[in-house]
């Protein structure tokens, strides 16, 4: 397709199961999403498994698949991907861990995000902890919101760790790091609890009715990740628009240009219109643009069905609709809309079940789907069992 343009829009965690408070509908079924429905009706709708059997259903694995890379070949852990986003160099004997700021209720994992702590305030906590923990070879790097990194230089680990967002409401004592090197990680986490329990910053948060930052939580470990460039793999140039370091890191590793959007937060209050404007502008000199929106995932983790529906409606109105309209001005174009994984409101954690996808545009034969939803996708009978094969399907008529 001469001068073709492509867009991939990812409403993170949008897929779900029937939700009682929505009358037995999923969030996608309850939401007013005419642009997504139009893509499903005009194009092909189906289901795809983005998380290979036996792998944890994280956004890292799922988005790697979605971008066209088999996680079984390329995946080395979540934290190394985020390290790439921040330009943190890793040596052959370095390990990096995701470091959440979390809220505990006694021994219970109450909140994986410390009350959705803002980036600026979180940076102050991380700076203070970096000074107080002060272990040789250990580095703390501030990230976005509650999402940070801990780098261990010249150390060896063989540990199992547990994502806090998939273990909400569970005793922390049952999900602490296990294995060789776990003692150091547990010690750092316990020391952080003691430091944070009496710090002035938490006293101020409590006085303002905010959740306390109780502890750091270490998980998602790995060593340096290397991936083949997207241009070499697929022959097209790309740009990515996202507020979170995970998606930024994947984009960086595959050679995409990462475009910053003022007001993009990774939360419900993100700058939807700004993301759409940046995507439309990027299409002028990039062949494919990847737009990631975290809000539905955060609503799922919060167990908030209403916010999940609202976030999908905002994505549809302010991102999918405008980008779809802009694409139609090109001689040839295609668009893919799909979640990376389900984040069911009931479970408040990720699932590895297949997700709906819809591809529309030049040369795509439709399968007469009524709308964009999990059930409608299942009813078409179209299934792409390996999610990393979807990108080639999107680009197959270049």
Q: What is the pLDDT of residues 69-83, one digit of tens each?
A: 999 999 999 999 999
Do 204 and 236 fall within a single domain? no
Strands 5-11 and 288-293: parallel
- Give a yes or no: residue 86 inside a domain: no
- Give a yes or no: residue 80 inside a domain: no
- Give a yes or no: residue 84 inside a domain: no
- Give a yes or no: residue 39 inside a domain: yes
pLDDT per position as a tens digit, 215-258: 999 999 999 999 999 999 999 999 999 999 999 999 999 999 99
Do 147 and 235 fall within a single domain? no
pLDDT per position as a tens digit, 11-50: 999 999 999 999 999 999 999 999 999 999 999 999 999 9
Q: Which two tokens stand for residue 143?
A: 């990230």
Taking the C-alpha atoms of residue 114 and residue 104, their distance in angstroms, rounded to an integer, is: 9
Place of tokens 């999107």: 394
Full domain range(s) for residue 134: 95-222
pLDDT of residue 198: 84
Do 386 and 248 fall within a single domain? yes
Domain limit, last residue, from 222, 245, 271: 222
Do 246 and 369 fall within a single domain? yes
CATH number at residue 365: 3.40.720.10
Return the C-alpha torsion angle 241, 245, 246, 248, nearest 10.
40
Do 230 and 377 fall within a single domain? yes
Taking the C-alpha atoms of residue 265 and residue 248, their distance in angstroms, rounded to an integer, is: 13
SS3 38: helix
Q: What is the pTM of this model?
A: 0.87
- Give a yes or no: residue 81 inside a domain: no
Domain limit, last residue, from 166, 195, 222: 222
Do 149 and 46 fall within a single domain? no
* pLDDT higher than 70, residue 2: no
Do 123 and 136 fall within a single domain? yes
Domain limit, last residue, from 194, 222, 250: 222
pLDDT per position as a tens digit, 292-343: 999 999 999 999 999 999 999 999 999 999 999 999 999 999 999 999 999 9
- Give a yes or no: residue 87 inside a domain: no
The model's confidence at residue 396, banded by pLDDT at 50, 70 and 90, is confident
Domain tally, the chain: 2
pLDDT of residue 3: 77
pLDDT of residue 366: 87
Do 194 and 259 fall within a single domain? no
* pLDDT higher than 70, residue 353: yes
Taking the C-alpha atoms of residue 71 and residue 85, their distance in angstroms, rounded to an integer, is: 18
Taking the C-alpha atoms of residue 346 and residue 300, their distance in angstroms, rounded to an integer, is: 8
Do 154 and 287 fall within a single domain? no
**Mean pLDDT for the chain?**
95
Question: How many other CB atoms are there within 10 angstroms of residue 34's CB atom?
Answer: 16
What is the DSSP track for 293-320?
A: E-HHHHHHHTT-HHHHHHHHHHHIIIII
pLDDT of residue 265: 92
User: What residues are paired with 239 via a beta bridge?
Assistant: 257, 289
- Whether the Cβ atoms of residue 237 and residue 93 lie closer than 8 Å to each other: no
The model's confidence at residue 398, banded by pLDDT at 50, 70 and 90, is very low
pLDDT per position as a tens digit, 201-211: 999 999 999 99
């Amino acid at each position: 397709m001469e001068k073709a343009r492509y867009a991939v829009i990812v409403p993170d965690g949008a897929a779900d199961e029937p939700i009682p408070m929505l009358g037995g509908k999923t969030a996608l079924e309850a939401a007013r999403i005419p642009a997504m429905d139009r893509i499903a009706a005009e194009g092909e709708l189906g289901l795809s498994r983005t998380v290979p059997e036996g792998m944890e259903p994280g956004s890292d694995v799922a988005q790697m698949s979605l971008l066209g890379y088999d996680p079984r070949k390329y995946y080395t852990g979540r934290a190394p991907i985020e390290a790439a986003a921040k330009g943190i160099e890793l040596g052959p004997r370095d390990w990096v861990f995701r470091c959440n700021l979390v809220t505990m209720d006694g021994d219970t994992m109450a909140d994986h995000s410390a009350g959705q702590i803002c980036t600026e305030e979180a940076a102050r906590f991380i700076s203070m902890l970096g000074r107080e923990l002060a272990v040789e070879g250990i580095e703390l790097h501030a990230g976005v919101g509650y999402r940070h990194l801990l780098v261990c230089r010249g150390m060896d680990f063989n540990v199992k760790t547990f994502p806090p967002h998939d273990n909400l409401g569970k005793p922390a004592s049952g999900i602490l790091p296990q294995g060789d090197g776990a003692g150091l990680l547990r010690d750092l986490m316990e020391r952080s609890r003691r430091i944070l329990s009496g710090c002035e910053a938490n006293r101020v948060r409590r006085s303002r009715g905010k959740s306390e930052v109780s502890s750091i939580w270490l998980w998602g470990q790995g060593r340096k990740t290397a991936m083949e460039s997207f241009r070499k793999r697929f022959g097209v140039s790309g740009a990515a628009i996202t507020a979170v370091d995970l998606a930024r890191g994947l984009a960086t590793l595959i050679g995409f240009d990462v475009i910053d959007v003022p007001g993009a937060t990774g939360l419900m209050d993100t700058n939807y219109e700004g993301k759409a404007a940046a995507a439309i502008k990027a299409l002028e000199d990039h062949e494919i643009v990847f737009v990631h929106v975290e809000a539905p995932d955060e609503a799922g983790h919060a167990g908030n069905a209403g916010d999940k529906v609202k976030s999908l409606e905002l994505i549809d109105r302010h991102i999918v609709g405008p980008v779809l309209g802009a694409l139609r001005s090109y001689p040839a174009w295609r668009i893919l809309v799909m979640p990376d994984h389900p984040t069911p409101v009931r479970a408040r954690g990720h699932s590895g079940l297949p997700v709906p996808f819809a591809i529309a545009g030049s040369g795509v034969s439709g399968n007469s789907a009524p709308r964009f939803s999990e059930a409608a996708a299942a009813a078409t009978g179209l299934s792409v069992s390996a999610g990393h094969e979807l990108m080639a399907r999107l680009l197959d008529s270049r």
